[in-house]
Structure 1
Amino acid sequence: MAACGFMASYLVKVLDEKEIIPLKDEIYLTNGYLEKEIDWIPGMEGIRLKDLPEFTQATKRDFSYNYYMETAQMADKVSQNMMIIHTFEELEASLVSEIKSIFPNVYTVGPLQLLLNRIKGKETNNNLYSLWKEEPECVEWLDSKDPNSVLYVNYGSVAVMSEQDLIEFGWGLVNSNCYFLWIIRPNLADGKPMVMPQELEVAMKEKGFVGGWCSQEEVLNHRAVGGFLTHCGWGSIIESLSAGVPMLGWPSLGDQWINCKQMCQQWEAGMEIGREVKRDEIEKLVRRLMNGPDGERMRNKALDWKKTAEMATGSNGSSWLDVEKLANEIIKFSRN
């Protein structure tokens, strides 16, 4: 879990203790209460209640609420155990420092894929942990495109959306007139297969390639990919920064809201799509990211983060050293 994701758990616990959440009444959803800033966590300045996971914007504690509470409560009991966070210290310096001031043994071990690549001396086989069957045709299609000319679109392995949202995304991509590689899982639309409207399907073939799944690391590092439309799951965020690719974020649940906000404001490597999907907005944002000066600025920032991630996972880098410390602690513990 990323540092901001962990702190989201801790925030839920503290906000519950302060009786700020759960909401006292549904009127709090519309009276501006959710704009309340939480300004006492270093590295998370400007975070609002509305940026927290969606279950905090309810009047009752549900399963997710209780899960986050229990996670934070268990962390409070940690004394000599090890807390492993999939991030690199330079990316979330203030947050990592804050966590280390609370817990004794914190290790930042990311980006994991860069570490694995260095250990093996070459890129690892993603098929070993892919949840879906990867289609090599996606990369073959990218091979025919110019550098930074393709928008990669993938909402992860779990997130779903309505059929109407999917259609709006489709027309927005088509109308942008940019090349796009769109990964549409069989269960992406409301958890079930969907047949695209014929008119949209025909229009998509001119500039787009639709696949069922792909090797995300290979795609993000392909020279043709110049942007990533993502649900802002932490794995996707850190993989995109590691590849130097700027993002368009459309979060839907959990810590994705905070990840997206950090990506846009703290790391300056992307833009957020509104919660209500509209084809006109998608079209404009895609053009800004792929062809405009804002996109160029964010691409340069993402490339800076790529260099930082590579240094963190290189010899004597922060993550490399933390992995060595962690390994030594595990060996010491196993001998006792």
Structure 2
Amino acid sequence: MIPWNGGACKRYGFFQEEDLKSKDKLITCLPGKIPPIRPTDIVSFLREKHISEIVFSAALDESRFQNIGDYVLVNTFEELEGGKDAQMCLSVNGCPALAIGPLFLPNFLQGKNSVYSMWEEDRTCFQWLDGQAQGSVLYVSFGSIAIKSEKQLHELALGLEACGYPFLWVVRSDIAEGKSLDLPEGFKDRTKDRALIVSWTNQLKVLSHPSIGGFLTHSGWNSSLEAISMGIPMIGWPYFGDQFLNCRFVKDVWNVGLDFEGVDVDEFKLVTKDIVESTIRSIMEGSIRMKLCENVVRLKKAAHKTVMEGGTSYTNLNTFVEDMQKIAKSRV
């Protein structure tokens, strides 16, 4: 059940369909200093209309077991989430929450790539990236699951063509609603001097490359955290799950990215090539880009600091390990 509309939190219920399309019905009574969130920010499989819905019921059952744990470990960092306030918010059920992320970052900073891919990686893109100007390339990837209609992907392709920027686009074999994508006629020839299309690549290595200037993403949490840790501003295009909330925080709370208006309330909305082009231009050039880059570089520095000795995530993880050792010894 979700509290909504009003600080007193006296009304609990499931969102109706009309609520999900309203930006006026804000959830304002969450603990901690969490900004008001909209119904469309809620994890998509928690938007069910009745408790009997199987996915909602499963998530609810899982949440009931959280208060019997010793800790909740979260792959984020306090400086991103608002410090100890957010940590206290997650601990309201009596089970302490600790931010211990970004989990991938310590290994990355030591030159280790511990990310294992679900798909075969195309490594040729790095030679291509080496030949591009610093901060000039838009990286486009929707992760391993998100799909779009072929019509929408054609509009995206035409927007990428019109923007004039070099781009690296990950086009999975199933991205067009489970099928391979037939690109617009002549698209590859017209963009061959400034574009590279691959089926999959090492995203973390791409985002850390100096030629990358922006990231068009499905707003998955791993992708969002990786982009922030590498100092790359984002354009969010969420698909399902927590991606809507991630996208909104990237844009409106952390101010490190943009999105396409309306896709959170209408999954069938067509984002036209003109909107794609104008949004890409905003993130790759001008005053908007300058502000986004300033914010994301600040968070990048905080992310790197937090996993170092003495940082908050480093300390939190040590606290967890030490407490688990004490508990284990007490039970021997």
**TM-score, shorter chain, exceeding 0.5:** yes
Judge which range, 243-252 or 323-332, deviates more: 323-332
- Whole-Å Cα distance in 2 between the matches of residues 40 and 13 of structure 1? 10
In the alignment, which residue of structure 1 is the partner of 2:36?
A: 46
Aligned match of 1:248:
235
After TM superposition, give the deviation of residue 57 of structure 1 in Å. 4.7
Match of 2:315 in 1: 321
**Residue 108, structure 1, aligned to residue 99, structure 2:** yes
* Structure 1 match to 2:62: 71
Residue 159 of structure 2 is aligned with which of 172, 175, 188? Answer: 172
Number of the residue aligned with 2:200: 213
Distance 1:169 1:17, change over 3 A: farther
Is the Cα contact below 8 Å between 2:20 and 2:40 reproduced in 1? Answer: no
Conservation of the 8 A alpha-carbon contact between 1:136 and 1:214: yes
Match of 1:290 in 2: 284
Q: CA RMSD in A?
A: 2.2
Report the 3-state secondary structure (helix = DSSP H, G, I; strand = E; otherwise coil) of the residue aligned with 1:159. Answer: coil
Deviations 1:175-233 (A, max 9, x none): 10011111111111101222223222323323211111111111111100011111111
- More helix by percentage: 1
Deviation at 1:101? 4.3
Amino acid at match of 1:292: G
1:18 CA drift (Å): 4.2
For residues 108 and 209 of structure 2, the distance between their equivalents in structure 1, rounded to whole angstroms, comes to: 16
Q: Is 1:21 paired with 2:20?
A: no
SS at match of 1:229: strand
2:221 to 210, 216, 234: 234
Give the distance between the partners of 1:283 and 1:300, measured in 2 at CA: 22
In structure 2, the CA distance between the partners of 1:56 and 1:18, relative to structure 1 (3 Å rule), is farther
Larger displacement relative to structure 2 (97-106 or 322-331): 97-106
TM-score by length of 1: 0.87
What is the CA–CA distance in structure 2 between the aligned matches of 1:160 and 1:63, rounded to whole Å? 23
CA gap 1:326/1:208 in 2 versus in 1, 3 angstroms:
same
1:304 counterpart = 2:298:
yes
Give the Cα separation in 1 of the matches to 2:150 and 2:10: 39
Say whether the 8 Å CA contact 2:19–2:25 is kept in structure 1: no
The 1:324–1:38 alpha-carbon spacing in structure 2 relative to 1, beyond 3 Å, is: same
Matches within 5 A, 1:145-164: 145-164=132-151
Amino acid at match of 1:90: E
C-alpha distance in 1, partners of 2:214/2:65? 38
**Partner AA of 2:99 in structure 1:** T
Contact 1:43 1:92 in 2 (8 A): no
Aligned length: 315
| 2:111 maps to which of 104, 112, 123 | 123
CA distance in 1, matches of 2:279, 2:15: 34
* CA deviation after TM superposition for structure 1 residue 82, in Å: 1.9
**Structure 1 residues 95, 334: CA separation in 2 closer, same or farther (over 3 Å shift)?**
same
Identity of aligned residues (%): 29
* Aligned pair partner of 2:253 in 248, 266, 269: 266
Q: Which letter maps to 1:309?
A: A
Sort the Cα spacing of 1:28 and 1:85 in 2 relative to 1 into closer, same or farther, 3 A: closer
TM norm structure 2: 0.88
Distance (whole Å) between structure 2 residues aligned to residue 319 and residue 185 of structure 1: 34
The one-letter amino acid of 2:111's match is: E
| 1:58 Cα deviation after fit | 4.8
Q: Which residue of 2 aligns with 1:7?
A: none
Distance 1:29 1:329 in 2: 42
1:3 is aligned to none
**8 Å CA contact 1:174, 1:207 repeated in 2:** no
2-structure distance, mates of 1:283, 1:163: 18
Q: Deviations over 1:35-69 (max 9, x none)?
A: 30111123432311122233455534533322332
Q: Do residues 35 (structure 1) and 24 (structure 2) align?
A: yes
For each residue in 1:309-329, what CA deviation from the matched residue of structure 2 results, as whole angstroms up to 9, or x when unmatched? 111111100000111112223
1:181 maps to 168
**Contact preservation (8 Å) 1:35, 1:49:** no
Please, which moves more after superposition, 66-75 or 278-287? 66-75
Q: Structure 2: how far apart are the matches of 1:54 and 1:35?
A: 18
Q: Which runs of 5+ in 1 are unaligned?
A: 1-11
Question: Is the deviation greater in 86-95 or in 298-307?
Answer: 86-95
Letter in 2 for 1:167: H
Letter in 2 for 1:319: S
Where structure 2 has 5 or more consecutive residues not aligned to the other structure, the ranges are: 264-268
> 2-side partners of 1:29 and 1:96: how far apart?
28
Code of the aligned partner of 1:100? S
| Deviation of the 1:29 alpha carbon | 5.5
Q: Match for 1:257: what amino acid?
A: F
Is 1:199 aligned to 2:189, yes or no? no
